[in-house]
Structure 1
């Protein structure tokens, strides 16, 4: 059997519409993009550990870049978690560090990607009225349609739920908010009991045990109670799902 050709020399001679269609089919699949908030810096960032690889269309050629940028917009900068930073008095994300300043901007297609507010790695809540207002200040986030929040972040007793719902209602295109259970929470980070699996995040069903089914029911009931107390209008849907970390590496280890 002859080997598949490594080059497609006639590609530049194809009609423009066909080339654009081919580039379109090469766009990334929907992804879960994790973000974390640094309260001391007042900024959001994407942890490096769970980000998908950069898309090559952005740098292949001008034509592929044009197609890519029709769908994907630069949104939040990737930052690597640090153990400690004196510059920010305990924050483990040194935004002033030259290495972090050079990290890539993460591009999102907010029509298909899910933005996930994951567990804080510094013991400060990421899901608050202030952090959501900062997220809304990012121009690209005006188009946010799918938002996910880690369960412990959403369930914390310190936050004013109604103020958070009020702020979420300001996202003009938000269609669905998902609470994700079974992820590492901030206590695990602070006590360093374990480390997160590296690789992309997947959202899965979480009703495979009686305990999880009861947890889902409690979360849903609490959401209904919050809505009854909230006087404004909420147009987005609400659901509870599970989370798997690790991407392809986890899949290979499970086989």
Structure 2
């Protein structure tokens, strides 16, 4: 930052900071089982570390970013815009109650991943999801799909077997969730749009063809590269489609 920057009018400085506010992102997190902490898995917004003023601007109510997933012993370390970012969380963190209830209320787009999803009952997942009162979308993230080049190079098909087993389990779980969310005990809960995301080892992610939930009558097919996915996630598309249907 050049030395005369602080001499600029406050409004102009804020306008400069505004150009560096991130667009909607997929914010990855990682779960430290030894400490029970949810830690960053994605690079933080640059404004968080430029200077105290840029950090305050980013975390102001008008911009909408906040630090989340702190504990009594450790400060919050994940910077998100809870209204626009899709937040990816290891289901193990939910299962073991290592997320504060206040943070449940802020997240709008949630992505669940992790081996703890494998074999989990939909009723147990819904018991956790009901704590999220403002969800618009919930995505189940499978393990990465092995590339053909990787399989040819290694001649190891065990990864394919593991991928197919896990992907099949996630698909079955999504079907169970779709059915169970329609049960009377969930009538008062704001039901999110359901989605499955399948990542590849190269960083790209893709979604299933067709409808995930026939009650919303949404048929969506999409493939995204690593570069454009933050601006064009399935969650964004589903949200836009639903808004268009309501207008």
Q: TM-score range by the shorter chain?
A: 0.5 to 0.7
Alpha-carbon shift at residue 246 of structure 1 (Å): 6.3
**What's the Cα RMSD here?**
4.1
Give the drift of 1:238.
Answer: 1.0
Note if contact 2:21-2:47 (Cα within 8 Å) is conserved in structure 1: yes
Deviations 1:171-203 (A, max 9, x none): 22222110112339xxxxxxxxxxxxxxxxxxx
Structure-2 residue corresponding to 1:76? 69
2-structure distance, mates of 1:183, 1:213: 9
Contact 1:151/1:179, CA 8 A, preserved across alignment: no
Structure 2 Cα separation of the partners of residues 57 and 245 of structure 1: 29
Aligned residue for 1:51?
42
1:173 maps onto 2:166 in alignment: no
**Cα distance change, pair 105–214 in 1 and its aligned pair in 2 (3 A):** closer
Offset at 1:141? 4.2
In 1, distance between residues paired with 2:116 and 2:184? Answer: 20
Given the alignment of the two structures, is residue 18 of structure 1 paired with residue 12 of structure 2, yes or no? Answer: yes
Q: Alignment partner of 1:33: what SS?
A: strand
Aligned CA distance change for structure 1 residues 37 and 229 (closer, same or farther; 3 Å)? farther
Contact 1:142–1:171 (8 Å) recurs in 2: yes
Contact map agreement 2:88 2:112 (CA 8 A) in 1: yes
Instruction: Say if 2:142 and 2:198, in contact at 8 Å, map to a contact too.
Output: yes
**Where does 1:106-145 land on structure 2 (aligned, <5 Å)?**
106-118=78-90, 125-128=92-95, 130-131=96-97, 134-137=98-101, 139-145=102-108
Return the alpha-carbon distance in structure 1 between the equivalents of residues 106 and 201 of structure 2: 26
Give the alignment partner of residue 21 of structure 2, picking from 2, 19, 27.
Answer: 27
Q: TM-score, normalised by structure 1?
A: 0.54
* 1:146 corresponding residue in structure 2: 109
Distance 2:123 2:106 in 1: 22
1:194-225 per-position Cα deviation (integer Å, ceiling 9, x unaligned): xxxxxxxxxxxxxxxx9999888645422222
SS state of the match for residue 182, structure 1?
coil
Q: Residue 186 of structure 2 aligns to a residue in which SS?
A: coil
In the TM superposition, what is the alpha-carbon distance from 1:76 to its structure 2 partner?
3.0
Alpha-carbon spacing, 1:171–1:74, altered in 2? closer, same or farther (3 Å): same
Residue of structure 2 equivalent to 1:192: none
1:229 offset after TM fit, Å?
4.3
Q: Secondary structure at the match of 2:181?
A: helix
Bigger relative contact order, structure 1 or 2 (CA pairs below 8 A, ≥6 apart): 1
Q: Distance in 2 between matches of 1:227 and 1:12?
A: 53
Closer/same/farther in 2, CA of residues 230 and 8 from structure 1, 3 Å limit = farther
Contiguous gaps of at least 5 residues in structure 2: 146-163, 205-224, 228-247
What TM-score do the two structures reach when normalised by structure 2? 0.56
Aligned pair in 2 of structure 1 residues 25, 183: CA closer, same or farther (>3 Å)?
Answer: same
